[in-house]
Amino acid sequence: MKHICLYFQVHQPFRLRIYRFFDIGVTHDYYHEVNNRALLQRIARKCYLPMNALLLRLIEKWGKERFSVTFGLTGTFLEQLQLYAPEVLESFQRLYATGAVELVAETYPHSLACLKSRTEFERQVRQHVELLRKLFGATPKVFRNTELVYYDELARWVHGLGFQAMLAEGADTLLGWRSPNYLYQSSEAPIGLLLRHYKLSDDIAFRFSDRSWSEWPLTAEKMANWIASLPAEETLVNLFMDYETFGEHQWAESGIFEFYEAWVELLLREGLALFVTPSWVLSQYKPVAALSAPMPLSWADTERDLTAWLGNELQTDAFETLYELEALVQKVEDPSIQRDWLRLQTSDHFYYMCTKFFADGDVHKYFNPYNSPYEAYITYMNILADFRQRLAQAP
Protein backbone atom coordinates (compact mmCIF):
# COMPACT_ATOMS: atom_id res chain seq x y z
CA MET A 1 0.00 0.00 0.00
CA LYS A 2 1.20 3.49 -0.86
CA HIS A 3 1.17 6.43 1.53
CA ILE A 4 0.38 9.64 -0.32
CA CYS A 5 1.33 12.89 1.35
CA LEU A 6 -0.78 15.61 -0.29
CA TYR A 7 0.46 19.13 0.39
CA PHE A 8 -1.27 22.26 -0.91
CA GLN A 9 0.43 25.66 -0.99
CA VAL A 10 -2.09 28.48 -0.48
CA HIS A 11 -0.70 31.95 -1.01
CA GLN A 12 -1.75 35.33 -2.30
CA PRO A 13 0.44 38.45 -2.14
CA PHE A 14 -0.68 42.00 -1.54
CA ARG A 15 -0.21 43.16 -5.13
CA LEU A 16 1.08 46.67 -5.66
CA ARG A 17 -0.64 49.42 -7.58
CA ILE A 18 1.25 51.28 -10.29
CA TYR A 19 3.28 53.68 -8.16
CA ARG A 20 4.98 56.47 -10.12
CA PHE A 21 7.96 58.67 -9.43
CA PHE A 22 5.70 61.61 -8.63
CA ASP A 23 3.95 59.58 -5.91
CA ILE A 24 7.17 59.37 -3.87
CA GLY A 25 6.80 61.41 -0.70
CA VAL A 26 3.18 62.23 -1.57
CA THR A 27 1.26 59.02 -0.84
CA HIS A 28 2.12 55.84 1.04
CA ASP A 29 -0.73 53.88 -0.49
CA TYR A 30 1.16 51.02 -2.15
CA TYR A 31 -1.50 48.36 -2.68
CA HIS A 32 -4.13 47.83 -5.34
CA GLU A 33 -7.01 47.30 -2.92
CA VAL A 34 -9.70 46.81 -5.57
CA ASN A 35 -7.71 44.23 -7.54
CA ASN A 36 -6.57 42.35 -4.44
CA ARG A 37 -10.11 42.08 -3.13
CA ALA A 38 -11.60 41.12 -6.52
CA LEU A 39 -8.93 38.55 -7.28
CA LEU A 40 -9.15 36.86 -3.89
CA GLN A 41 -12.94 36.70 -4.01
CA ARG A 42 -12.83 35.29 -7.55
CA ILE A 43 -10.39 32.54 -6.54
CA ALA A 44 -12.51 31.87 -3.45
CA ARG A 45 -15.53 31.17 -5.67
CA LYS A 46 -13.60 29.11 -8.21
CA CYS A 47 -11.17 27.24 -5.95
CA TYR A 48 -11.10 27.71 -2.19
CA LEU A 49 -14.76 27.22 -1.34
CA PRO A 50 -15.57 24.34 -3.72
CA MET A 51 -12.30 22.51 -3.04
CA ASN A 52 -12.62 22.93 0.73
CA ALA A 53 -16.15 21.54 0.49
CA LEU A 54 -14.88 18.58 -1.55
CA LEU A 55 -12.11 17.83 0.96
CA LEU A 56 -14.55 18.03 3.87
CA ARG A 57 -16.84 15.60 2.10
CA LEU A 58 -13.99 13.13 1.55
CA ILE A 59 -12.83 13.43 5.17
CA GLU A 60 -16.33 12.80 6.47
CA LYS A 61 -16.76 9.80 4.17
CA TRP A 62 -13.42 8.08 4.68
CA GLY A 63 -12.23 9.33 8.08
CA LYS A 64 -8.97 10.97 9.03
CA GLU A 65 -7.20 7.62 9.38
CA ARG A 66 -7.56 7.07 5.63
CA PHE A 67 -7.74 10.57 4.17
CA SER A 68 -5.72 13.52 5.45
CA VAL A 69 -4.19 16.53 3.72
CA THR A 70 -1.64 19.23 4.50
CA PHE A 71 -1.79 22.97 3.90
CA GLY A 72 0.68 25.82 3.88
CA LEU A 73 -1.38 28.99 4.46
CA THR A 74 0.82 32.07 4.21
CA GLY A 75 0.41 35.06 6.49
CA THR A 76 -0.47 37.40 3.62
CA PHE A 77 -3.11 34.94 2.42
CA LEU A 78 -4.67 34.66 5.87
CA GLU A 79 -4.65 38.45 6.23
CA GLN A 80 -6.55 38.78 2.97
CA LEU A 81 -9.09 36.18 4.07
CA GLN A 82 -9.75 38.22 7.19
CA LEU A 83 -10.16 41.37 5.09
CA TYR A 84 -11.98 40.13 2.01
CA ALA A 85 -13.35 36.59 2.51
CA PRO A 86 -13.94 35.59 6.15
CA GLU A 87 -16.21 32.75 5.00
CA VAL A 88 -13.17 31.12 3.36
CA LEU A 89 -11.17 31.38 6.58
CA GLU A 90 -14.08 29.73 8.41
CA SER A 91 -14.08 26.90 5.86
CA PHE A 92 -10.37 26.27 6.45
CA GLN A 93 -10.99 26.32 10.20
CA ARG A 94 -13.75 23.71 9.78
CA LEU A 95 -11.35 21.53 7.82
CA TYR A 96 -8.68 21.82 10.49
CA ALA A 97 -11.19 20.99 13.21
CA THR A 98 -11.72 17.54 11.65
CA GLY A 99 -8.27 16.44 12.77
CA ALA A 100 -7.52 15.36 9.20
CA VAL A 101 -5.53 18.48 8.28
CA GLU A 102 -1.96 19.38 9.15
CA LEU A 103 -0.75 22.97 8.87
CA VAL A 104 2.93 23.63 8.18
CA ALA A 105 4.90 26.74 9.03
CA GLU A 106 6.75 29.03 6.66
CA THR A 107 7.77 32.69 6.49
CA TYR A 108 4.82 34.94 7.25
CA PRO A 109 4.94 36.96 3.99
CA HIS A 110 6.20 34.14 1.74
CA SER A 111 9.59 35.80 1.51
CA LEU A 112 13.13 34.92 0.48
CA ALA A 113 14.57 36.31 3.71
CA CYS A 114 16.49 33.06 4.19
CA LEU A 115 18.85 34.22 1.43
CA LYS A 116 19.75 37.48 3.18
CA SER A 117 19.09 37.51 6.92
CA ARG A 118 18.80 34.73 9.47
CA THR A 119 17.43 37.22 11.99
CA GLU A 120 14.64 38.38 9.67
CA PHE A 121 13.92 34.84 8.51
CA GLU A 122 13.47 33.54 12.04
CA ARG A 123 11.35 36.55 13.01
CA GLN A 124 8.98 35.88 10.11
CA VAL A 125 8.71 32.18 10.92
CA ARG A 126 7.80 32.96 14.52
CA GLN A 127 5.19 35.46 13.33
CA HIS A 128 3.64 32.83 11.08
CA VAL A 129 3.60 30.21 13.83
CA GLU A 130 1.88 32.69 16.13
CA LEU A 131 -0.76 33.45 13.49
CA LEU A 132 -1.50 29.73 13.02
CA ARG A 133 -1.84 29.36 16.78
CA LYS A 134 -4.19 32.36 16.98
CA LEU A 135 -6.46 31.40 14.06
CA PHE A 136 -6.39 27.59 14.30
CA GLY A 137 -4.88 26.60 17.61
CA ALA A 138 -2.17 24.83 15.61
CA THR A 139 1.44 24.20 16.63
CA PRO A 140 3.27 23.17 13.44
CA LYS A 141 6.01 20.58 13.63
CA VAL A 142 6.97 20.75 9.95
CA PHE A 143 8.40 23.62 7.95
CA ARG A 144 7.93 24.48 4.30
CA ASN A 145 10.08 27.33 3.02
CA THR A 146 8.94 29.77 0.36
CA GLU A 147 8.84 28.05 -3.06
CA LEU A 148 10.43 24.99 -1.43
CA VAL A 149 13.77 26.81 -1.26
CA TYR A 150 16.13 24.48 0.58
CA TYR A 151 19.85 24.27 1.30
CA ASP A 152 22.09 22.81 4.00
CA GLU A 153 22.54 25.86 6.21
CA LEU A 154 18.81 26.51 6.16
CA ALA A 155 18.21 23.02 7.57
CA ARG A 156 20.33 23.97 10.58
CA TRP A 157 18.31 27.16 11.12
CA VAL A 158 15.00 25.34 10.84
CA HIS A 159 16.12 22.63 13.26
CA GLY A 160 17.18 25.36 15.66
CA LEU A 161 13.62 26.72 15.56
CA GLY A 162 12.34 23.37 16.81
CA PHE A 163 10.90 21.84 13.64
CA GLN A 164 11.15 18.10 13.04
CA ALA A 165 11.05 18.07 9.23
CA MET A 166 11.06 20.16 6.08
CA LEU A 167 9.35 19.80 2.74
CA ALA A 168 11.66 20.16 -0.26
CA GLU A 169 11.79 19.58 -4.00
CA GLY A 170 12.84 16.13 -5.16
CA ALA A 171 15.26 17.74 -7.59
CA ASP A 172 17.58 15.53 -9.60
CA THR A 173 20.53 17.63 -8.45
CA LEU A 174 19.68 16.75 -4.84
CA LEU A 175 18.72 13.11 -5.26
CA GLY A 176 21.07 11.96 -8.00
CA TRP A 177 20.16 8.31 -8.62
CA ARG A 178 17.84 8.10 -5.61
CA SER A 179 14.05 8.11 -5.65
CA PRO A 180 11.98 10.84 -3.94
CA ASN A 181 9.67 8.14 -2.57
CA TYR A 182 11.43 7.72 0.78
CA LEU A 183 11.93 9.79 3.91
CA TYR A 184 15.38 11.39 3.96
CA GLN A 185 17.34 13.48 6.43
CA SER A 186 19.50 16.56 6.11
CA SER A 187 23.21 15.90 6.19
CA GLU A 188 23.65 19.01 8.33
CA ALA A 189 20.94 18.62 11.00
CA PRO A 190 18.72 15.90 12.49
CA ILE A 191 15.70 17.01 10.53
CA GLY A 192 13.59 14.90 8.18
CA LEU A 193 13.14 15.72 4.49
CA LEU A 194 9.96 14.94 2.56
CA LEU A 195 10.75 15.36 -1.11
CA ARG A 196 8.22 16.27 -3.79
CA HIS A 197 7.68 13.82 -6.63
CA TYR A 198 7.75 16.56 -9.21
CA LYS A 199 6.66 14.54 -12.22
CA LEU A 200 3.46 13.20 -10.70
CA SER A 201 2.75 16.50 -8.96
CA ASP A 202 3.16 18.46 -12.18
CA ASP A 203 1.04 15.97 -14.12
CA ILE A 204 -1.87 17.29 -12.08
CA ALA A 205 -0.78 20.88 -11.49
CA PHE A 206 0.46 21.81 -14.97
CA ARG A 207 -0.35 19.13 -17.52
CA PHE A 208 -3.88 18.11 -16.59
CA SER A 209 -5.62 20.15 -19.31
CA ASP A 210 -2.72 20.26 -21.79
CA ARG A 211 -4.09 18.58 -24.90
CA SER A 212 -0.62 18.44 -26.46
CA TRP A 213 0.61 16.21 -23.61
CA SER A 214 1.09 12.63 -24.74
CA GLU A 215 -0.77 11.32 -21.69
CA TRP A 216 -3.80 13.59 -22.06
CA PRO A 217 -6.45 13.08 -20.84
CA LEU A 218 -5.33 12.31 -17.30
CA THR A 219 -7.91 10.01 -15.72
CA ALA A 220 -8.32 8.78 -12.16
CA GLU A 221 -7.51 5.25 -13.33
CA LYS A 222 -4.34 6.36 -15.10
CA MET A 223 -3.00 8.30 -12.12
CA ALA A 224 -3.91 5.51 -9.72
CA ASN A 225 -2.10 2.97 -11.93
CA TRP A 226 1.02 5.13 -12.11
CA ILE A 227 1.17 5.31 -8.32
CA ALA A 228 0.34 1.63 -7.78
CA SER A 229 3.02 0.59 -10.28
CA LEU A 230 5.85 2.32 -8.43
CA PRO A 231 8.37 -0.15 -6.98
CA ALA A 232 6.90 -2.03 -4.01
CA GLU A 233 9.55 -0.72 -1.63
CA GLU A 234 8.78 2.89 -2.58
CA THR A 235 5.72 3.35 -0.40
CA LEU A 236 5.87 7.12 0.21
CA VAL A 237 4.65 9.47 -2.54
CA ASN A 238 4.80 13.21 -1.86
CA LEU A 239 2.52 15.23 -4.12
CA PHE A 240 2.93 18.98 -3.54
CA MET A 241 1.15 21.65 -5.59
CA ASP A 242 -0.50 25.06 -5.49
CA TYR A 243 -4.05 24.84 -4.17
CA GLU A 244 -5.17 27.14 -6.98
CA THR A 245 -4.54 24.18 -9.31
CA PHE A 246 -8.14 23.26 -8.56
CA GLY A 247 -10.59 25.59 -10.26
CA GLU A 248 -8.19 28.43 -11.08
CA HIS A 249 -5.09 27.13 -12.87
CA GLN A 250 -7.17 24.21 -14.08
CA TRP A 251 -10.73 25.46 -14.55
CA ALA A 252 -13.72 23.51 -13.28
CA GLU A 253 -14.72 22.96 -16.91
CA SER A 254 -11.55 20.89 -17.40
CA GLY A 255 -12.94 18.25 -15.03
CA ILE A 256 -10.25 18.78 -12.37
CA PHE A 257 -12.64 18.47 -9.43
CA GLU A 258 -14.25 15.31 -10.78
CA PHE A 259 -10.81 13.84 -11.53
CA TYR A 260 -9.52 14.56 -8.03
CA GLU A 261 -12.54 13.07 -6.25
CA ALA A 262 -12.62 9.99 -8.48
CA TRP A 263 -8.86 9.44 -8.04
CA VAL A 264 -9.03 9.64 -4.24
CA GLU A 265 -12.11 7.41 -4.13
CA LEU A 266 -10.51 4.81 -6.41
CA LEU A 267 -7.32 4.55 -4.37
CA LEU A 268 -9.20 4.29 -1.08
CA ARG A 269 -11.92 1.96 -2.31
CA GLU A 270 -9.39 -0.48 -3.81
CA GLY A 271 -7.12 -0.28 -0.76
CA LEU A 272 -4.22 0.95 -2.88
CA ALA A 273 -3.25 3.93 -0.74
CA LEU A 274 -3.77 6.00 2.36
CA PHE A 275 -3.54 9.80 2.31
CA VAL A 276 -1.29 10.90 5.16
CA THR A 277 0.36 13.98 6.67
CA PRO A 278 4.06 14.80 7.16
CA SER A 279 3.77 14.23 10.92
CA TRP A 280 2.30 10.79 10.26
CA VAL A 281 5.23 10.03 7.96
CA LEU A 282 7.68 11.05 10.67
CA SER A 283 5.97 8.70 13.12
CA GLN A 284 6.04 5.71 10.75
CA TYR A 285 9.17 6.08 8.61
CA LYS A 286 12.89 6.19 9.29
CA PRO A 287 15.22 8.22 7.04
CA VAL A 288 17.01 6.02 4.52
CA ALA A 289 19.88 8.42 3.81
CA ALA A 290 21.25 11.89 4.48
CA LEU A 291 21.20 14.40 1.63
CA SER A 292 23.30 17.51 1.10
CA ALA A 293 22.34 20.68 -0.79
CA PRO A 294 25.23 23.15 -0.64
CA MET A 295 23.39 25.54 -2.99
CA PRO A 296 19.74 26.60 -2.76
CA LEU A 297 17.15 24.54 -4.63
CA SER A 298 13.51 25.38 -5.33
CA TRP A 299 10.46 23.88 -7.04
CA ALA A 300 10.31 26.53 -9.76
CA ASP A 301 10.71 25.97 -13.49
CA THR A 302 12.78 23.30 -15.17
CA GLU A 303 16.01 24.41 -13.46
CA ARG A 304 14.76 24.05 -9.85
CA ASP A 305 16.90 27.01 -8.82
CA LEU A 306 16.42 30.67 -7.79
CA THR A 307 16.44 32.27 -11.23
CA ALA A 308 12.68 32.81 -11.25
CA TRP A 309 13.23 35.45 -8.54
CA LEU A 310 16.89 36.43 -8.76
CA GLY A 311 17.85 35.62 -12.34
CA ASN A 312 18.37 39.09 -13.79
CA GLU A 313 19.75 42.50 -12.84
CA LEU A 314 16.32 43.98 -12.19
CA GLN A 315 15.55 41.33 -9.60
CA THR A 316 18.91 41.36 -7.87
CA ASP A 317 18.97 45.17 -7.69
CA ALA A 318 15.48 45.29 -6.17
CA PHE A 319 16.29 42.46 -3.76
CA GLU A 320 19.55 44.00 -2.57
CA THR A 321 17.99 47.46 -2.23
CA LEU A 322 15.18 46.03 -0.12
CA TYR A 323 17.44 44.30 2.39
CA GLU A 324 19.70 47.32 2.70
CA LEU A 325 16.80 48.75 4.70
CA GLU A 326 16.65 45.97 7.29
CA ALA A 327 18.80 47.72 9.91
CA LEU A 328 16.70 50.87 9.64
CA VAL A 329 13.43 48.95 9.92
CA GLN A 330 14.60 47.24 13.10
CA LYS A 331 14.82 50.66 14.80
CA VAL A 332 11.24 51.68 13.94
CA GLU A 333 8.15 50.50 15.82
CA ASP A 334 5.53 52.15 13.59
CA PRO A 335 2.98 49.36 12.83
CA SER A 336 2.37 50.61 9.27
CA ILE A 337 6.09 50.50 8.50
CA GLN A 338 6.41 47.01 9.98
CA ARG A 339 3.38 45.88 7.96
CA ASP A 340 4.78 47.26 4.70
CA TRP A 341 8.22 45.83 5.43
CA LEU A 342 6.70 42.36 5.57
CA ARG A 343 4.49 42.79 2.50
CA LEU A 344 7.31 44.20 0.38
CA GLN A 345 9.39 41.08 1.05
CA THR A 346 6.85 38.77 -0.58
CA SER A 347 8.65 36.79 -3.27
CA ASP A 348 5.97 37.48 -5.90
CA HIS A 349 7.24 41.04 -6.36
CA PHE A 350 10.53 39.68 -7.68
CA TYR A 351 8.81 36.94 -9.67
CA TYR A 352 6.93 39.59 -11.65
CA MET A 353 10.31 41.01 -12.76
CA CYS A 354 11.33 37.70 -14.35
CA THR A 355 12.47 37.96 -17.97
CA LYS A 356 13.21 34.32 -18.73
CA PHE A 357 10.96 32.18 -20.87
CA PHE A 358 11.66 28.46 -20.90
CA ALA A 359 9.37 25.48 -21.24
CA ASP A 360 7.19 26.66 -18.38
CA GLY A 361 7.77 30.37 -18.87
CA ASP A 362 4.07 31.14 -19.21
CA VAL A 363 3.72 30.41 -15.50
CA HIS A 364 5.48 33.73 -14.84
CA LYS A 365 2.57 35.59 -16.43
CA TYR A 366 -0.09 34.11 -14.17
CA PHE A 367 -1.73 36.56 -11.73
CA ASN A 368 0.82 39.15 -12.90
CA PRO A 369 -0.61 42.70 -12.61
CA TYR A 370 2.08 44.31 -14.79
CA ASN A 371 2.47 44.74 -18.53
CA SER A 372 6.17 43.94 -18.38
CA PRO A 373 8.97 42.99 -15.95
CA TYR A 374 10.30 46.54 -16.32
CA GLU A 375 7.01 48.06 -15.14
CA ALA A 376 7.13 45.72 -12.14
CA TYR A 377 10.69 46.83 -11.36
CA ILE A 378 10.00 50.56 -11.73
CA THR A 379 6.90 50.34 -9.56
CA TYR A 380 8.72 48.40 -6.87
CA MET A 381 11.75 50.69 -6.80
CA ASN A 382 9.56 53.82 -6.58
CA ILE A 383 7.83 52.28 -3.58
CA LEU A 384 11.15 51.43 -1.97
CA ALA A 385 12.25 55.05 -2.46
CA ASP A 386 9.15 56.25 -0.62
CA PHE A 387 9.56 53.58 2.03
CA ARG A 388 13.15 54.67 2.61
CA GLN A 389 11.97 58.28 3.10
CA ARG A 390 9.43 57.11 5.69
CA LEU A 391 12.17 55.25 7.55
CA ALA A 392 14.39 58.32 7.55
CA GLN A 393 11.57 60.47 8.94
CA ALA A 394 10.34 57.98 11.53
CA PRO A 395 10.83 58.95 15.20
User: What positions carry a catalytic annotation?
Assistant: 147
Alpha carbon distance 167, 144 (integer Å)? 5
Q: Residue 25: helix, strand or coil by DSSP? A: coil
User: b/e map of 266-291 (b: 16 or more CB within 10 Å)?
Assistant: bbbeeeebbbbbbbbbbeebebeeeb
Taking the C-alpha atoms of residue 198 and residue 391, their distance in angstroms, rounded to an integer, is: 42
Shortest CA distance to 4 belongs to which of 231, 274, 200, 219?
274
d(Cα 143, Cα 341) in Å, to the nearest integer?
22
Please give the C-alpha separations between residue 78 and each of 35, 38, 107, 110, 138, in angstroms, as whole numbers: 17, 16, 13, 12, 14
Burial letters 138-177, b for 16+ CB under 10 A, else e: bebbbbbbbbbbbbbebbebbbeeebbbbbbbbbeebbee
Distance of CA 41 to the CA centre of its chain: 19
SS3 328: helix
